[in-house]
């Protein structure tokens, strides 16, 4: 009997437990269903919000917020770019928007609203050139900034009117090169840099082996400074309709307050942001400079009694309230507007555009961190070469090179792809050293006048830490098999045999580099060597040396490729951009993980840190076809 009762009790307990689990399961399913409904609702709303077409009113102004990073990279779809917070921040989108606005009768002008500025030099130049074409239609460009520097001012100088607040400033520090040399520090701590470089101007290792500029190094940097300075002065003078001497004086004066900038002609007006819209409306003829009731007082008005004056003042205030707001559309919104104009590259035969940006190294590419991985590039080029839907390939390069072996692997992939369909190179800010190596076998090379290219040379080496180890009393016992087992060891310096062996290895690398360029460009090895030697050239110089076929930007490269494909010049093509961008959520998570801790490290040390990070990316490379200098635009 007792046993039966115990069974009944356990049965009741079990049934209660089952009921509880059923309730929990039902609650879980209900919550899951609610979560799914909420997720679907939010996703649907986001898609609707981010993809719906904005309504453009008549007499509108296209507002381009110059804020954050503007990059020459593949575009994502509209929804993904909005989620990532980068909608409209690519060269292609900005140029396309300006082209549409030039033909759109609803758009009267463009406002460049500068907040922060980071834009690679050739994206700036392409957008700037398109703004000049926009002005040829009779429409106006305005710019507003709280402060401006050398390169941001170059961008905004195309505007018909430039405004800043009275408290603003124009900072023109000029052009300066600062080269840190580490030899004395290495001597102090017992580190011996051992490098071999081929080419009189392949000066990159000299920062480790010398304590001051060599004559060749000084010659290269002087030429760079002169070219940048002359280019800057000429472009500003032409845009602002002043003499070059005037621009040189602006640079020599350095810092200009808002008042000084207005007097000098650097800006056209001192206004606050709250006054900007009305000022633009007046410039566009949408409002009178002085609304009714605000004209200068006549003698009769001056004699009017105080009640009449108060009445007029009241009417003025009422008129001001009734003034229409300026109709505006943002750069991101306008990108979703479909207007048929030439060279938007949305229809026609498919052209693959590959963006190769950053250091060339072995392994996988990482567009976000500007790494060109040989594995990824070789695979992509081979895939596109075999894709029947892709008629031609445009390789958009912005790279100072990197590892020689990785560069050669990509060069060979470009050569093989070019045997199947035309490959045209569009050099952006730089295509130097390894960046030039991968360009050489293409069907044609197009560069901007100020593209940095050439730097055909090789270097390599190591740091011997024996002196440092002795200094800190660390003893290293070494066992080896093979006469040259320690050639890449950081513990000991090279023997004479090892140094000779490495010099032979570097020379072979240089000779191969020359042969690759000679084969690709249809030149003799001797002719290539004469313009090589590690010497950098600007695009406008390289074309006379046979290293470049044509000067121009992205459109010019597309035109060349169309010519190679026998596509009529007036027929549009559709570009397909590679590599494909990551999911926006993955991008955001990556940026959060990689976000640097905020510190007050001096700017000079930050630049050294950047160089060290670049070296870390190339740590597995033996030979370097690399132009390691960074052009800092502020």
Virtual torsion, Cα 46, 47, 51, 53, nearest 10 deg: -70
Sign of the alpha-carbon dihedral angle for 309, 312, 318, 324: negative
Residues 557 and 580 in one domain: yes
In this structure, the strands spanning 423-432 and 452-454 are parallel
Sign of the alpha-carbon dihedral angle for 117, 62, 141, 77: positive
Of residues 1 and 520, more confidence is placed in 520
Q: d(Cα 176, Cα 243) in Å, to the nearest integer?
A: 23
Of residues 562 and 75, more confidence is placed in 562
Q: d(Cα 88, Cα 101) in Å, to the nearest integer?
A: 14
**496-521 and 404-420 helices cross at what angle (nearest 10)?**
20
Judge whether residue 71 has pLDDT over 90.
no
Tell me which residue range forms the domain holding 385. 349-456+521-593+602-626
Per-residue pLDDT band at 62 (split at 50, 70, 90): very high
- Is residue 339 in a domain? no
Judge whether residue 268 has pLDDT over 70.
yes
What pLDDT score does 630 carry? 53
Question: pLDDT, tens digit, for every residue of 72-94?
Answer: 888 765 555 555 445 668 899 99
Paired strand residues for 85: none
Residues 328 and 370 in one domain: no
- Is residue 247 in a domain? no
Instruction: Confirm if 88 and 40 have CB atoms less than 8 A apart.
Output: no
| CA 618 to mean position of chain CA atoms | 21
Lowest mean pLDDT among 76-85, 213-222, 470-479: 76-85
φ, ψ dihedrals at 537, nearest 5°:
-135, 150
What pLDDT score does 217 carry? 94
- b/e 208-227 (16+ beta carbons within 10 angstroms → b): bbbeebeebbeebbeebeeb
Instruction: Confirm if 302 and 309 have CB atoms less than 8 A apart.
Output: no
- Is residue 480 in a domain? no
Catalytic residues, by residue number, are: 202, 433
3-state secondary structure 165-224: CCCCEEECCCCCCCCCCCHHHHHHHCCEEEEEEECCCCCCCHHHHCCCCCHHHHHHHHHH
H/E stretch holding 607? helix 603-617
Judge whether residue 115 has pLDDT over 60.
yes
Residues 432 and 580 in one domain: yes
Residues 323 and 430 in one domain: no
Q: d(Cα 11, Cα 436) in Å, to the nearest integer?
A: 81
Judge whether residue 303 has pLDDT over 60.
no
Question: pLDDT, tens digit, for every residue of 594-627?
Answer: 444 444 445 555 555 555 555 555 555 656 665 5
Instruction: Outline where DSSP puts E strands in 381-491.
Output: 390-399, 401-403, 423-432, 444-447, 452-454, 458-464
Instruction: Confirm if 107 and 139 have CB atoms less than 8 A apart.
Output: yes
Per-residue pLDDT band at 491 (split at 50, 70, 90): confident
Q: d(Cα 80, Cα 89) in Å, to the nearest integer?
A: 13
- Report DSSP state, residue 366: B
Cα distances (angstroms) measured from residue 339 to each of 65, 133, 188, 206: 21, 18, 66, 54
Whole-angstrom Cα Rg for the chain? 31
Judge whether residue 260 has pLDDT over 90.
yes
Task: List the CATH number of the domain containing 581.
Answer: 3.90.226.10
- Is residue 546 in a domain? yes
In this structure, the strands spanning 349-357 and 390-399 are parallel
| CA 474 to mean position of chain CA atoms | 45
- Report DSSP state, residue 485: T
Judge whether residue 267 has pLDDT over 90.
yes
> Which 3 state secondary structure label does DSSP give 163?
strand
What pLDDT score does 313 carry? 52
Across 52-58, average pLDDT:
81
Assess whether the previous peptide bond of 585 is cis (omega < 30° from 0).
Answer: no
What pLDDT score does 70 carry? 81
Longest dimension (CA), the chain: 121
pLDDT over 90, % of the chain? 60
Instruction: Confirm if 103 and 339 have CB atoms less than 8 A apart.
Output: yes
pLDDT over 70, % of the chain? 79
Question: pLDDT, tens digit, for every residue of 356-415?
Answer: 999 999 999 888 788 899 999 999 999 999 999 999 999 999 999 988 999 999 999 999
Residues 316 and 366 in one domain: no
Instruction: Confirm if 513 and 458 have CB atoms less than 8 A apart.
Output: yes
Name the domain count of the chain. Answer: 2
Q: Where on the phi/psi map is residue 115: left (φ > 0), alpha (ψ -120 to 50), or beta? A: alpha
Instruction: Outline where DSSP puts E strands in 5-106.
Output: 60-66, 69-70
Residues 281 and 403 in one domain: no
Lowest mean pLDDT among 190-194, 322-326, 377-381: 322-326
Q: Half-sphere exposure (CA, 13 Å, Cβ side) for 417?
A: 35
Q: d(Cα 330, Cα 318) in Å, to the nearest integer?
A: 30
Across 117-146, average pLDDT:
94
Q: DSSP assignment of 270-336, as one string?
A: E--HHHHHHHHHHHTTSS-SS-TT-SPP-HHHHTS-HHHHHHHHHHHHHHHHHSPPPEEEEHHHHTT
Residues 387 and 282 in one domain: no
In this structure, the strands spanning 390-399 and 423-432 are parallel
Virtual torsion, Cα 564, 395, 547, 443, nearest 10 deg: -30
Residues 313 and 385 in one domain: no
Name the token pair of 90: 């690519």
| CA 464 to mean position of chain CA atoms | 37
- Is residue 299 in a domain? no
Residues 286 and 353 in one domain: no
Name the token pair of 179: 């080269």
Instruction: Confirm if 324 and 282 have CB atoms less than 8 A apart.
Output: no
Residues 400 and 431 in one domain: yes
Residues 563 and 451 in one domain: yes
Question: pLDDT, tens digit, for every residue of 509-561?
Answer: 999 999 999 999 999 999 999 999 999 999 999 999 999 999 999 999 999 99
Residues 321 and 451 in one domain: no
Which residue, among 412, 585, 619, 603, has the nearest Cα to 512 in the 3D structure? 412
- Is residue 545 in a domain? yes
CB atoms within 10 A of CB 616: 8
- Is residue 149 in a domain? yes
Per-residue pLDDT band at 634 (split at 50, 70, 90): very low
- Is residue 43 in a domain? no
Per-residue pLDDT band at 12 (split at 50, 70, 90): low
């Amino acid at each position: 009997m007792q046993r039966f009762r115990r069974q009944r009790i356990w049965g009741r307990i079990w049934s209660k437990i089952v009921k509880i689990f059923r309730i929990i399961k039902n609650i879980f399913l209900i919550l899951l269903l609610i979560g799914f409904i909420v997720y679907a609702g939010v996703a649907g709303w986001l898609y609707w919000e981010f993809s719906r077409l904005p309504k453009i009113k008549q007499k509108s102004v296209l507002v381009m917020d110059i804020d954050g990073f503007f990059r020459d990279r593949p575009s994502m779809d509209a929804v993904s770019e909005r989620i990532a917070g980068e909608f409209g921040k690519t060269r292609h989108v900005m140029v396309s928007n300006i082209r549409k606005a030039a033909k759109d009768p609803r758009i009267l002008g463009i406002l460049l609203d500068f907040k922060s500025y980071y834009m690679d030099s050739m994206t700036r130049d392409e957008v700037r050139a398109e703004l000049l074409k926009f002005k040829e239609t009779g429409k106006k460009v305005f710019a507003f900034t709280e402060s401006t520097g050398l390169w941001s001012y170059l961008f905004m100088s195309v505007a018909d009117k430039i405004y800043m607040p009275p408290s603003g400033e124009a900072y023109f520090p000029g052009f300066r090169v600062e080269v840190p040399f580490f030899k004395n520090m290495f001597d102090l701590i017992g580190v011996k840099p051992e490098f071999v470089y081929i080419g009189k101007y392949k000066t990159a290792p000299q920062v480790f082996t010398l304590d001051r500029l060599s004559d060749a190094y000084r010659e290269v940097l002087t030429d760079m400074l002169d070219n940048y300075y002359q280019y800057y002065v000429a472009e500003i003078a032409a845009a602002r309709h002043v003499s070059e001497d005037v621009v040189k004086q602006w640079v020599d004066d350095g810092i200009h307050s808002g008042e000084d900038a207005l007097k000098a002609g650097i800006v056209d007006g001192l206004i606050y942001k709250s006054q900007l819209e009305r000022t633009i409306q007046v410039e566009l003829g949408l409002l009178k400079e002085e609304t009714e009731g605000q004209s200068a007082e006549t003698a009769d008005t001056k004699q009017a009694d105080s009640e009449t004056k108060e009445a007029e003042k009241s009417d003025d205030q009422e008129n001001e309230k009734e003034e229409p707001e300026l109709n505006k559309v943002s750069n991101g919104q306008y990108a979703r507007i479909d207007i048929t104009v030439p060279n938007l590259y949305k229809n026609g035969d498919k052209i693959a555009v590959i963006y190769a940006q950053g250091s060339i190294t072995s392994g996988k590419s990482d567009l976000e961190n500007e790494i060109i991985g040989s594995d990824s590039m070789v695979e992509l080029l081979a895939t596109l070469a075999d894709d029947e839907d892709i008629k031609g390939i445009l390789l958009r390069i912005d790279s100072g090179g990197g590892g020689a072996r990785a560069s050669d692997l990509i060069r060979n992939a470009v050569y093989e792809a070019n045997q199947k369909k035309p490959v045209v190179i569009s050099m952006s800010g730089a295509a130097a050293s390894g960046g030039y190596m991968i360009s050489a076998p293409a069907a044609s090379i197009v560069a901007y006048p100020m593209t940095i290219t050439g730097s055909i040379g090789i270097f390599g080496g190591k740091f011997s830490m024996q002196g440092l180890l002795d200094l800190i009393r660390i003893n290293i016992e070494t066992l080896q098999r093979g006469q040259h087992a320690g050639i890449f060891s950081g513990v000991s310096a090279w023997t004479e045999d090892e140094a000779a062996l490495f010099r032979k290895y570097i020379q072979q690398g240089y000779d191969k580099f020359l042969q690759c360029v000679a084969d690709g460009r249809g030149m003799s090895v001797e002719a290539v060597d004469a313009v090589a030697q590690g010497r950098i050239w600007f695009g406008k110089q390289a074309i006379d040396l046979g290293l470049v076929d044509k000067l121009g930007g992205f459109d010019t490269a597309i035109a060349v490729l169309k010519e190679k494909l026998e596509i009529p010049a007036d027929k549009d093509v559709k570009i397909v951009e590679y590599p494909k961008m990551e999911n926006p959520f993955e991008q955001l998570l990556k940026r959060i993980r990689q976000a640097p801790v905020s510190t007050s490290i001096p700017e000079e040390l930050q630049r050294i840190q950047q160089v060290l990070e670049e070296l870390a990316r190339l740590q597995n490379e033996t030979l370097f076809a690399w132009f390691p200098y960074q052009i800092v635009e502020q």
